[in-house]
Structure 1
Amino acid sequence: MDIGHRNNVTVTGNPEGRTVVLAHGFGCDQNMWRLTVPALAEEYQVVLFDYVGAGRSDLSAFSEARYSSLEGYAQDVEEICEALDLRDAVFVGHSVSAMIGVLAAARVPERIGALVMVAPSPRYIDDAGYHGGFSAEDIDELLASLDSNYLGWSAAMAPVIMGNAERPELGEELVTSFCATDPEMASVFARTTFLSDSRAELKSVQVPTLVLESSQDAIAPREVGAFVHQAIPGSALVTLEATGHCPHLSAPEATNQAITTFLDGLR
């Protein structure tokens, strides 16, 4: 299979520089990184892609069996890294992709040498001694609403996810991105995302890791950022002066500065 076609892989930036892989979250595609790429492209080779079922990926490659687990998405990352023969790349994952990056780094440690986790959450549902931000009933209702009226769900949820009510164009962009995703494939990815529990995998991370959180995030509250930071030995935690779950869109300068500072420290 042509992995480049399957995942709509794009390679840009400096071919002599270290490779940075940018991975989008649920309901998004690689276009969501357009404000980050220019900050990296001069010094780093940048790889972007769409998970199968998102963006301009090959929808015929979608398999509910494979993508009902985060491991299926991590396998996408592994196969992209192998197809490009990446070594010691920095994986930047937004939201659920942060956890996909953890899984991928464990699968191919020689190919992923550092992680940047943007608004990560290893578990969205509250648990004993853990605040994920949602009750089990909240998630059940969210998924039922998504299944019954995906377009309506998208219009209602995107502004909540994005935050920044005073900048409605950001929420509208996310609505457009959600609505461009096949509803059945989005439903599979949503269940995989919101019902996942990757807390146990965090302690296995052995590479330099940056955890980026927004100061206000309805999807991944700051308690989650603190949990991820504490669970990953030697990780760094940066709280951005940003609102919402997509700081790379709502506060790109602060997000890019944090990422490039981390990358500079890896040299």
Structure 2
Amino acid sequence: MRIRRRNNVTVTGPSDATTLVLAHGFGCDQNMWRLVAPALAQRYRVVLFDYVGSGGSDLSAWSEARYSSLDGYAQDVVDVCEELELDRAVFVGHSVSAMVGVLAARAAPERIGALVMVAPSPRYIDDEGYRGGFDAEDIDELLASLESNYLGWSSAMAPVIMGNPDRPELGQELTNSFCATDPDIARVFARTTFLSDSRDDLKTVTVPTLVLECAEDVIAPREVGAYVHAAIPSSRLVTLDATGHCPQLSAPEATTAAIVDFLEARP
């Protein structure tokens, strides 16, 4: 029960069905899955949680030392899976959580049997032979702006990340989520996210994997989805006819359908 309280764990859906663990990205919480989780819970057991430092988690359990690397977030995932005694669950990770899922699956292979990567990126900074979408100066400026004026940064960046300018309510929802996060915790999570490089970790993935990308995404462009797909031999790449970095909000029906199709196609 300690882990359930610490990570604000909620479980819905049939208890005897395949278990899906849905993990949110930077600046968000489990509410980001609110348009997808109910539909999935009609046929699957759905586990939602908040990383320590996010949403309804126990903020007193947060430490900069632990959460300055993606391994700290992966340990949260492993802890939740062990608390619920999960056996080869399907981990659905949005954005940076896609890479967290890779680390968790490697740390506890008996707990995670498949991965769904929603708008993943193993590295956000361009490198020789690799396009992540940002150069180093872009990320330095982004982090400096976030650290100097987090609320202002949230108001400016959330609509850009969300995309869909014709649906401003989506950008406002992401803005509200960012602004609800403690700025000191957000600063650490942001640096952990945008300075990470998980490209080599992709080689360790051996479980069935769905790479789910959007047709237009300023945070994880199509080149990134192609890179992740090529790096994981057992993966399937699906491009949603959707814009922005949060298809679970902007295109929930298509996101749900892609996940279900992947799960139903597994042996």
Report TM bin, short chain. Answer: over 0.9
Matches within 5 A, 1:113-128: 113-128=113-128
Aligned counterpart, 1:196: 196
Give the match's secondary structure for 1:64.
coil
1:166-210 Cα offsets, whole Å, 9 max, x none, are 000000000000000000000000000000000000011000000
Note the residue ranges of structure 1 that are not aligned, 5 or more in a row: none
Give the whole-Å Cα distance in 1 for the aligned partners of 2:150 and 2:100.
Answer: 24
Please identify runs of 4+ aligned residues in structure 1 that moved more than 4 A. Answer: none
Aligned counterpart, 1:107: 107
Give the whole-Å Cα distance in 1 for the aligned partners of 2:52 and 2:183.
Answer: 13
Give the match's secondary structure for 1:215.
strand
Matches within 5 A, 1:111-260: 111-260=111-260
The two structures have a TM-score, normalised by structure 2, of: 0.99
Give the whole-Å Cα distance in 2 for the aligned partners of 1:39 and 1:201.
Answer: 31
Aligned counterpart, 2:40: 40
1:197-241 Cα offsets, whole Å, 9 max, x none, are 000000110000000000000000000000000000120000000
Give the match's secondary structure for 1:188.
helix
Offset of 1:266 from its aligned partner? 2.1
Question: Which deviates more from structure 2 when the two are superposed, residues 143-152 or residues 38-47?
Answer: 38-47
The yes-or-no answer on 1:94 pairing with 2:94 is yes
Offset of 1:75 from its aligned partner? 0.3
AA at the equivalent of 1:27: G
* Percentage of matched positions with identical amino acids: 76
Give the whole-Å Cα distance in 1 for the aligned partners of 2:186 and 2:172.
Answer: 18
Give the whole-Å Cα distance in 1 for the aligned partners of 2:205 and 2:234.
Answer: 10
Give the match's secondary structure for 1:152.
helix
AA at the equivalent of 1:174: L
Give the whole-Å Cα distance in 2 for the aligned partners of 1:88 and 1:78.
Answer: 12
AA at the equivalent of 2:114: A
Offset of 1:20 from its aligned partner? 0.2
Aligned counterpart, 1:54: 54
Q: Please tell me the root mean square deviation across aligned C-alpha atoms, in Å.
A: 0.7
Give the whole-Å Cα distance in 2 for the aligned partners of 1:14 and 1:161.
Answer: 34
Give the whole-Å Cα distance in 2 for the aligned partners of 1:234 and 1:147.
Answer: 39
The two structures have a TM-score, normalised by structure 1, of: 0.99
Offset of 1:37 from its aligned partner? 1.0
Note the residue ranges of structure 2 that are not aligned, 5 or more in a row: none
Give the whole-Å Cα distance in 2 for the aligned partners of 1:51 and 1:44.
Answer: 22
Give the match's secondary structure for 1:237.
strand
Give the match's secondary structure for 2:65.
helix
Give the whole-Å Cα distance in 2 for the aligned partners of 1:197 and 1:26.
Answer: 16
Offset of 1:27 from its aligned partner? 0.4
Give the whole-Å Cα distance in 1 for the aligned partners of 2:72 and 2:253.
Answer: 32
Offset of 1:38 from its aligned partner? 1.8
Give the match's secondary structure for 1:214.
strand
AA at the equivalent of 1:140: D
Aligned counterpart, 2:9: 9
Give the whole-Å Cα distance in 2 for the aligned partners of 1:40 and 1:255.
Answer: 10
Offset of 1:43 from its aligned partner? 1.3
Offset of 1:54 from its aligned partner? 0.5
Give the whole-Å Cα distance in 1 for the aligned partners of 2:149 and 2:225.
Answer: 31
1:149-176 Cα offsets, whole Å, 9 max, x none, are 0000000000010000000000000000
Give the whole-Å Cα distance in 2 for the aligned partners of 1:47 and 1:176.
Answer: 23
Give the whole-Å Cα distance in 2 for the aligned partners of 1:14 and 1:33.
Answer: 18
